[in-house]
């Protein structure tokens, strides 16, 4: 890989503090771009790349089957690279800045209806079974706090205060936030900790496996999926869907948008506003089901 590109990737991880996943995606996209630009043994001169070169590459990737969303990510990687070069004084303009792609229609976040999650959380659980209590707590944490999968896995035991009814979450870019919770969740945390005392814990995390090690993503995913499926839920049943459900429930029950933004750990209000569309969609659905004239056709009722 070009040394300057490698330096950019180091910068994104060490100075911008982006996640390893984001850096790996940048690396993959820039690897493909470099391979295209150096095809046939041509040297890569970053300063001589034009807007037309970038358009040709995106057309090439489209011909290889990349969807519009993937193309957008690749363009973002190039824009970030050239922003970095401009910041370092190595470029005067960003050749990727003026390249435009068709805007994507953003799908509304998927969520689970309240009665479905209630069925999961109201189900009988063996209070002496470590696995059952832990799995129940996993679902409850997602639904009652809206934390991310990575945040749940990394949640430290000392960060959960059942007396104050709050937990400290380390979110994206290592930013901490405080999330409150209620009495029921506090009781389940206490019960879980009592049972965890019988497990050979090997870490400082709140949630652990039967062997005392931190939970891992596939295990948490299966816990959530199986719990929701057992209550009759269908479609995508993931931890992130429970996060969407938390936000939707909060807004449906009168929470302020800014408060939900802070609880979710969003950097901008725009990321949270999508949930207002979900609540309006749900409101429309409920109206059509409940109002006697909502589905009236052609201005009159047939006999």
Which CATH number belongs to the domain containing residue 232 in this structure?
A: 1.10.443.10
Is residue 147 located within the same domain as residue 224?
yes
Query: Are 145 and 137 within 8 A, CB to CB?
Result: no
**Res 81: pLDDT:** 94
Q: What is the pLDDT of residues 150-192, one digit of tens each?
A: 999 999 999 999 999 999 999 888 889 999 999 999 999 999 9
d(C-alpha 51, C-alpha 141), whole Å: 47
Strand partners, 161: 166
Is residue 141 located within the same domain as residue 252?
yes
Closest CA to 137 of 246, 48, 227: 227
d(C-alpha 233, C-alpha 118), whole Å: 12
Residue that wins the pLDDT comparison between 295 and 120: 120
- Domain assignment present for residue 164? The answer is yes
Q: What number is the average pLDDT over the span 273-298?
A: 59
**Res 191: pLDDT:** 98
**Res 268: pLDDT:** 86
Residue that wins the pLDDT comparison between 49 and 287: 49
Q: Give the DSSP per-residue string, 275-290.
A: HHHHHHHHHHHHHHHH
- Domain assignment present for residue 100? The answer is no
d(C-alpha 264, C-alpha 271), whole Å: 10
Eight-state DSSP code of residue 160:
E
Q: Give the DSSP per-residue string, 219-277.
A: HHHHHHHHHHHHTT--S---HHHHHHHHHHHHHHTT--HHHHHHHHT-SSHHHHHHHHH
Is residue 162 located within the same domain as residue 39?
no
- Domain assignment present for residue 99? The answer is no
Q: What number is the average pLDDT over the span 202-228?
A: 97
- Domain assignment present for residue 178? The answer is yes
Q: What is the pLDDT of residues 27-41, one digit of tens each?
A: 999 999 999 999 877
Q: Which domain holds residue 61?
A: 3-87
| Averaged confidence pLDDT in the chain | 88
Q: What is the pLDDT of residues 78-106, one digit of tens each?
A: 999 999 999 999 989 999 998 887 665 66
Is residue 124 located within the same domain as residue 34?
no
Is residue 128 located within the same domain as residue 170?
yes
Global pTM value: 0.63
Q: What is the pLDDT of residues 7-22, one digit of tens each?
A: 999 998 888 888 888 8
Which CA distances in Å does 129 have to 4, 104, 132, 225?
Answer: 55, 47, 5, 20
Is residue 203 located within the same domain as residue 77?
no
Which CA distances in Å does 12 have to 18, 32, 70, 151, 173?
Answer: 6, 18, 20, 21, 11
Closest CA to 135 of 215, 38, 233: 215
**Res 302: pLDDT:** 40
Is residue 70 located within the same domain as residue 218?
no
Instruction: Please say if the pLDDT value at position 300 is more than 70.
Output: no
Is residue 126 located within the same domain as residue 240?
yes
- Which of residues 87, 104, 132 is at a domain's end? 87
Residues forming the active site: 148, 172, 240, 243, 266, 275
Is residue 147 located within the same domain as residue 221?
yes
Domain count, the chain: 2
Residue that wins the pLDDT comparison between 29 and 281: 29
Is residue 138 located within the same domain as residue 196?
yes
Is residue 128 located within the same domain as residue 277?
yes
**Res 264: pLDDT:** 95
């Amino acid at each position: 890989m070009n040394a300057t590109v490698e330096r950019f990737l180091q910068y994104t991880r060490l100075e911008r503090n982006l996640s390893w996943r984001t850096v790996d995606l940048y690396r993959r996209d820039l690897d493909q771009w470099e391979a295209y630009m150096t095809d046939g043994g041509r040297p890569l001169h970053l300063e001589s790349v034009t807007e037309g070169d970038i358009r040709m590459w995106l057309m090439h990737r489209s011909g290889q089957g990349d969807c519009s969303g993937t193309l957008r990510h690749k363009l973002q990687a190039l824009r970030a690279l050239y922003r970095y070069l401009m910041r370092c004084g190595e470029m005067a303009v960003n050749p990727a800045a003026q390249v435009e792609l068709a805007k994507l229609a953003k799908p509304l976040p998927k969520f689970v209806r309240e009665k479905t999650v209630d069925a999961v959380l109201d189900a009988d659980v063996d209070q002496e079974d470590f696995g059952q209590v832990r799995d129940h707590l996993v679902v409850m944490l997602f639904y009652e706090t809206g934390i991310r999968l990575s945040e749940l896995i990394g949640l430290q035991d000392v960060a959960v205060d059942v007396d104050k009814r709050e937990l400290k979450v380390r979110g994206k870019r290592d930013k901490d936030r405080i999330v409150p919770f209620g009495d029921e969740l506090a009781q389940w945390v206490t019960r879980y900790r009592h049972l965890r005392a019988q497990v050979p814990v090997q870490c400082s995390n709140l949630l652990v496996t039967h062997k005392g090690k931190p939970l891992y993503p596939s295990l948490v995913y299966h816990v959530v999926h199986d719990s929701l499926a057992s209550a009759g839920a269908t479609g995508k049943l993931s931890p992130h869907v429970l996060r969407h459900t938390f936000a939707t429930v909060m807004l449906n029950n009168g929470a302020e948008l800014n408060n939900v933004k802070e609880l979710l750990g969003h950097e901008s209000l725009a990321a949270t506003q999508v949930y207002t569309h979900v609540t309006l969609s749900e409101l429309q659905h409920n109206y059509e089901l409940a109002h006697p004239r909502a589905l009236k056709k052609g201005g009159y009722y047939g006999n």
